[in-house]
């Protein structure tokens, strides 16, 4: 039976060895740490560097992630591609591998009209029994998906089959519009890295899909919000915001460079290698500021009672 898609669902990074091959030992360490930290599942997404993987590597990652997860939580596999045919191949592989849902960005090589986006996502919904998360990743790549497209997909398939991860700015009003225009039926996830998590939670999200690097803070932050403990939530939130602000300055490569640096620093990754080309890398001053802020965040995490 598919596991529920809800709660804290971090995006797994793809670790690489010095020869640029996928480091599956580090991938396993990352996933083990995520569940030990309290994640409800794991996903792949833009910061998994999927667009930099080969076709065969994407299929191998799809096969391996459910095996490594071993039933400890849900697995959401990102399947976005430039054509319906490609995305359907990834979707069907995710279903046969034992994933619990798929998530897809729209094609990014051109401006796709609404009717074609509906055809694209309908093709994925019809290709397997898995739920489909419609991801608007226009904060990183591509153009935003109109609310009309989302409403039509929800009308056709219902909220058990079609879920949403809107990332176009401004995210807060967008989340409120989802709830208003779908009469509260849309199941929506946020993916701001934590910087908009509290505002998004108050607007009724079903879960959050952060990066892995601050997961030991995001999990207790989420739990604090659920029990109405604003004091704990904000103590964790402020250093997370400061760290994410550093990542935001350089877009996707800003997130990747800092996230992989932290995962390597935590001992979860053998290297902090990213697939090239890269548009931005950590300089010495940014690295020092990340280290300072991470120490502040770790101090706040240590203050949280173990039962919280």
Mean pLDDT of 201-227: 97
DSSP designation for 40: S
Instruction: Express each pLDDT in 135-181 by its tens digit.
Output: 998 766 667 899 999 999 999 999 999 999 998 888 899 899 889 99
> What's this model's pTM, rounded to 2 decimal places?
0.96
pLDDT at 150: 95
pLDDT greater than 80 at residue 199: yes
Distances (CA, A) of 154 to 11, 128, 148, 181, 188: 24, 17, 10, 11, 12
Domain boundaries, the chain: 7-229
pLDDT, one tens digit per residue, over 289-299 is: 999 999 999 99
Lowest average pLDDT, out of 1-5, 15-19, 178-182, goes to 1-5
Per-residue pLDDT of 251-273, as tens digits, reads: 889 999 999 999 999 999 999 99
Query: Using 50, 70 and 90 to split pLDDT, how confident is the model at 3?
Result: confident
Q: Read off the pLDDT of each residue in 189-218 and give the average, rounded to a whole number.
A: 96
Token pair recorded at residue 136: 């608007």
End-to-end Cα distance, the chain: 29
Domain range 7-229, its CATH number among 3.20.20.70, 1.10.357.20, 3.30.1300.10, 1.20.1050.10: 3.20.20.70
């Amino acid at each position: 039976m598919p596991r529920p898609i809800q709660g804290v669902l971090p995006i797994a990074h793809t670790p690489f060895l010095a020869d640029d091959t996928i480091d599956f030992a580090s991938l396993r360490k990352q996933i083990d740490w995520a569940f030990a930290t309290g994640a409800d599942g794991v996903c792949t997404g833009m910061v998994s560097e999927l667009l930099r993987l080969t076709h065969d590597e994407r299929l191998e990652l799809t096969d391996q992630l459910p095996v490594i997860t071993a039933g400890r939580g849900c697995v959401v596999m990102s399947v976005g591609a430039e054509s319906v045919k490609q995305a359907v191949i990834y979707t069907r592989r995710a279903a046969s591998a034992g994933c619990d849902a798929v998530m897809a960005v729209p094609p990014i090589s051109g401006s796709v009209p609404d009717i074609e986006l509906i055809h694209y996502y309908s093709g994925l919904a019809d290709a397997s029994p898995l739920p489909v998360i419609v991801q608007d990743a226009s904060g990183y790549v591509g153009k935003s998906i109109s609310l009309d497209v989302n409403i039509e997909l929800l009308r056709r398939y219902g909220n058990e089959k079609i879920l949403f991860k809107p990332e176009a700015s401004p995210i807060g009003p967008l989340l409120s519009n989802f709830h208003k225009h779908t009469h509260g039926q849309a199941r929506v996830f946020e993916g701001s890295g934590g910087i908009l998590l509290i505002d998004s939670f108050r607007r009724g999200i079903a879960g959050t899909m952060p990066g892995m690097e601050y997961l030991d803070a995001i999990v207790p932050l989420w739990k604090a919000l659920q029990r109405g403990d604003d004091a704990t939530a904000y103590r964790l939130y402020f250093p997370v915001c400061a760290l994410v602000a550093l990542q935001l300055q350089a877009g996707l490569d800003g997130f990747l460079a800092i996230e992989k640096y932290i995962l390597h620093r935590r001992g979860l990754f053998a290297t902090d290698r990213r697939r090239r080309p890269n548009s931005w890398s950590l300089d010495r001053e940014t690295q020092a500021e990340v280290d300072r802020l991470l120490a502040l965040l770790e101090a706040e995490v240590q203050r949280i009672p173990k039962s919280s």
